[in-house]
A and B are shown apart, each in its own frame.
Chain A
Amino acid sequence: MPPEQMPPPPLGGFMARNRAAQPAALHPPYKTSVWRSPRAPLLSFPSSLSEETGPVFGQSLLGPLDADLLSNFAAPGETAIGPRIIVHGRVVDEGGRGVPGALVEVWQANAGGRYRHAKEGYLAPLDPNFGGCGRCLTDAEGHYSFRTVMPGPYPWPNGGNDWRPAHIHLSLFGPSFAQRLITQMYFEGDPLIPLCPILGAVTDAAALQRLVATLDMQATIPMDSRAFRFDIVLRGRRQSVFENRKEGL
Chain B
Amino acid sequence: MPPFIETASQTAGPYVHIGCTPNVCGIAMYGGDLGAVMKTGPVRGEEITLTGAVHDGMGAVLKDALVEIWQADAAGLFNTPHERRGQADPNFTGFGRSAGDMNTGEFTFHTVKPGRVPWPDGRLQAPHVSVWVVARGINIGLQTRLYFADEEAANAEDPILSRIEHRARAETLIARRSGPRAYRFDIHLQGPKETVFLDI
Chain A residues proximal to chain B, CB less than 8 Å: 3-4, 6, 8-9, 13-14, 16-18, 21-25, 27, 30, 32-40, 42-51, 53-57, 61, 63, 66, 72-73, 90, 92-96, 105-107, 115-120, 131-133, 135, 169, 171, 175, 177-178, 180-184, 198-199, 201-202, 204, 206-211, 231-236, 242, 244-246, 248-249
Q: 14 A–B contact pairs at CB < 8 A? A: A18-B5, A21-B5, A30-B139, A35-B137, A39-B57, A39-B191, A40-B169, A45-B163, A96-B1, A115-B18, A132-B27, A210-B8, A244-B120, A249-B120
- Asked whether, in the complex, the Cβ of B137 is within 8 Å of the Cβ of A8, the reply is no
A39: chain B residues at CB < 8 Å are 57, 190-191, 194
B117 engages A48 (CB within 8 Å): yes
Of the candidate stretches B44-52, B76-84, B105-113, B174-182, the one touching chain A is: B76-84
Contacts of B26 in A (CB 8 A): 116, 118
Smallest beta-carbon distance B2→chain A, Å: 6
CB B36 to nearest CB in A, in angstroms, measures 13
Residue B90 is within 8 A (CB to CB) of chain A in the complex = no
Pairs A-B, 5 closest by C-beta atoms: A107-B19, A32-B137, A36-B137, A55-B95, A42-B199
Beta-carbon contact of A181 and B4 below 8 Å: no
| Complex alpha-carbon distance, A235 and B25, angstroms | 31
Say whether A36 contacts B138, CB under 8 Å: yes
Known pairs A34-B137, A94-B6. 15 more at Cβ < 8 A?
Answer: A38-B194, A39-B57, A44-B200, A45-B200, A50-B72, A54-B70, A93-B4, A105-B20, A116-B25, A119-B14, A131-B18, A171-B19, A171-B20, A177-B130, A245-B120
The answer to whether residues A56 and B80 also contact, given A27-B139, A36-B190, A210-B2 and a CB cut-off of 8 A, is: yes
Question: Nearest residue in B to A27 (C-beta to C-beta)?
Answer: B139
> Which residues of B pack against A, CB within 8 Å?
1-20, 22, 25-27, 29-31, 34-35, 56-58, 60, 62, 64, 68, 70-72, 78-85, 93-95, 102, 117-122, 125, 128, 130, 132, 134-143, 145, 159-160, 163-164, 169, 189-191, 194-200
